[in-house]
A and B are shown apart, each in its own frame.
Chain A
Amino acid sequence: MTPVASGPEKKDALQEFKNSLKAAPRHVLETAFRTGPPTTDRTRSTFVFGNVFLHLHAVRTHLWSLRWSATMGLGIMSVSAFLIALVTGVMLMFYYKPFPDAAYLSMKDIHFVVPTGRLIRNLHRWSANVMVIAVILHMARTFYTAAYRRPREYNWLIGIGLLVVTLGLSFTGYLLPWDQLAYWAITIGANIAQSPREVTDALNLTEHFDPGGLQRLLLLGSDQVGEEALIRFYLLHVMILPLAIAALMAVHFWRIRKDGGLVRPADADEQLARQRRDETYPVFTEAPVKTYHLAAIVRGRTANVGRGPENTVPSMPHLFYAELGVLMVTLLVCLALSLLSDAPLKELANPNVPENPAKAPWYFLGLQEMVSFSAFIGGIGVPVIVLLGLALIPYLDRETEGTGKWFGGPGGWPLVRLSLAFGLAAPILLEAFAIRFGWLREWFPHIPQLIVTAINPATILTAVYALYSLWSIRRYQSVRAGALALFTCFLCGFVVLTVIGTYFRGPNWEFYWSPADWPKH
């Protein structure tokens, strides 16, 4: 054993331990963020791709994508609302008991007894509503800027999947309070799942082939809405659908990056170059102040002075701070709505006495309006046609004109304006006719059900919209024009039917000008 060599380079181990202990917090931070604070363009890049959550984004973002009018922040708003619903949903699970009657009592506890319970529940409910609105508007933005075109076709499909799962999450959450509203909305929903029987019954097939009955059975786990149904909806709401939406969201975001960022018009760079950006913010902190090329003999600055390559800026901070801003706005909106308006909780579910009127959540009232003509067409037929039509849009519109521009493509805004007028007028006139004069069964009491299923305001509206869209294709010699017409009509139809279902239908689903006219019982 050699004696310990004493020298100036050898330190006291205890001292070293103390120094390391002191430096530990700094070292933890350094090992977590290996490349240091994002102060230069280089470390801003490494900050993004060295982080598992941030690296879904590219390290640099095109200036066009940061313009308010490019996205209106609707996609981030959808995610923000989802995150709020996720956090508040987990909080609610502390107290919620998924069993009939106990579920209702636990909702009452959450509402009246649990500290902050009412606010958490209101936030959950409002963020779900905000998410539905944001997702629909986000889809409209994507459509009207023709962002679904190559190479983003598949991401449009993923987006449709996200829309369906979003509505599924809302619908499954609706049963959980086990109050009158919930019970009868789910009874109606489950029977819509069973509505293919309307056709199989009419064809005398139900005994051998009963997809409707199977769907209802799988949804309810029983032949009535009871404890089995509640646990299934709970499982869907807190486990299956959130997992599905998380997986779809991951693909959706990753695809944005892989598809070359957000859509922008072909002349985006020229448009940006025309604007003076010196007064805005430094877009490229280490941008060349001087560049040389063949035109150096020309006076003035070349195009690349003062801006980064391809008009991009570092995602950190420009994009991330904007996203945080949208998250804050979403949170503010949800919080304000939660403080202003409580989530409803009616009486305990009573399987013998339906609510009158029994209304689904507002975004399904358009469907309910169609269902009041034919369960199968309104609840399954038209929604399936709409979803298929939406999914097919990027594969039918193979044009390139107007990509990245609002209402871009042949027809443009004048066509959308005309379609708005047509799309609003058609369902209002049809509904007015059906409300004033009734429908087939009132005129011919013994008419076969199949005819009522095939010919009712919902199918006529679908056909009228489709014909109008075909006419637009011919008029402008462009599939995009047809898509603009059809999508605008679809939005209008959704709005008109939802408004009628929400405000103008009273007890027994009769038409009333206002709820003040409803008969008193």
Chain B
Amino acid sequence: MTTTPKTPRSRLDPDPVPRRDWLGLASLWTTGAALLFGLAGMLKLPKAAVLASPSKKFRVALPETLPAGEPFLPPGRAVAIFKDAEGAYAISTICTHLGCVVKPHAEGFECPCHGSRFAASGEVAKGPAPRPLPWLKVSLSGGVVTVDEGTEVPHGTKVAS
């Protein structure tokens, strides 16, 4: 083991970091880094990669006679399906305000939770809802309509069979 000859240090030079200080700082910083890294990993956990929710698509047979402007409400789904001369269309009945299920009536829809009103086309007529009710993608074959609740389409999109 060779030793380098000691060069005289100026008293203005900073002290070299002593070994104990270095070990102490190293443990502090590695603990901090490990905690941060672990926390970042833990924060990823609650956000599932695949959501446990039922399929957004469903098929349902329309009644034989469905007057224009009269909603058909498939059981268990928050969707209103309409059919008129131009074709079939589906409007989501989940209020865009806070997610309550709106009720169709003669002039449109009304929300029981905070009083939002929507026109028959889904446009907001009154109340706190920030957006119109979305129209959903439908396809029609014979009397059976397939609705995709996950896909919005522009208002006024009607599908003829």
A interface residues, Cβ below 8 angstroms from B: 184, 187-188, 190-192, 195, 197-198, 201-202, 214, 217-218, 221-224, 226-228, 232, 351-358, 368, 371-375, 438, 441-442, 445, 449, 452-453, 507-510
Contact = CB atoms under 8 A, between A and B. Distances in A.
Nearest to B113: A358
Given A223-B53, A358-B112, A510-B115, A372 B100 contact: no
Q: Is the interface of A mostly helix, strand, loop or mixed?
A: helix
Contacts of A197: 130
Contact of A354 (B100, B127, B130, B131): B100
User: Interface range on chain B: under 10, 10 to 19, 20 to 34, or 35 or more?
Assistant: 20 to 34
B128 interface: yes
Interface in B71-117: 75-78, 97-101, 110-115
Contacts of A198: 130
A509 B53 contact: no
B126 A438 contact: yes
B52 A227 contact: yes
Contacts of B100: 184, 187-188, 354, 358
Nearest to A225: B99
B101 A226 contact: no
A124 B20 CA distance: 54
Contact of A508 (B47, B53, B112, B123): B112
A510 B127 CA distance: 11
B17 interface: no
A125 to B, nearest CB: 23
B125 interface: yes
28 contacts: A187-B98, A190-B99, A191-B98, A191-B99, A201-B131, A202-B130, A214-B47, A218-B47, A223-B51, A226-B53, A352-B77, A354-B100, A356-B112, A356-B113, A357-B112, A371-B128, A374-B130, A375-B97, A375-B98, A375-B130, A441-B124, A442-B126, A445-B123, A452-B128, A452-B130, A453-B130, A509-B113, A509-B114
A78 to B, nearest CB: 30
B34 interface: no
Given A192-B98, A221-B48, A355-B112, 13 more contacts: A190-B99, A217-B47, A227-B52, A232-B46, A352-B76, A356-B113, A358-B100, A441-B124, A441-B127, A445-B123, A452-B128, A452-B130, A453-B130
A221 B46 contact: yes
Interface of B: 46-48, 51-53, 75-78, 97-101, 110-115, 123-128, 130-131
Which 3 residue pairs are nearest across A and B when measured between Cβ atoms?
A356-B112, A509-B115, A191-B98
A232 B78 CA distance: 24
B98 A354 contact: no
A351 B47 CA distance: 23
A508 B47 CA distance: 34
Nearest to B131: A201
Contacts of A510: 115
B98 A188 contact: yes
Contacts of A353: 101
Nearest to B102: A354
A222 B51 CA distance: 5
A191 B38 CA distance: 30
Contact of B110 (A224, A226, A508): A508
B113 A357 contact: yes
B112 A222 contact: no
Contacts of B48: 221-222, 228
Given A218-B46, A226-B53, A354 B113 contact: yes
Nearest to B97: A375
Contacts of A375: 97-98, 128, 130
B131 A449 contact: yes
A345 B125 CA distance: 35
A116 to B, nearest CB: 36
A354 B100 CA distance: 6
Contact of A201 (B46, B78, B130): B130
A223 B75 CA distance: 19
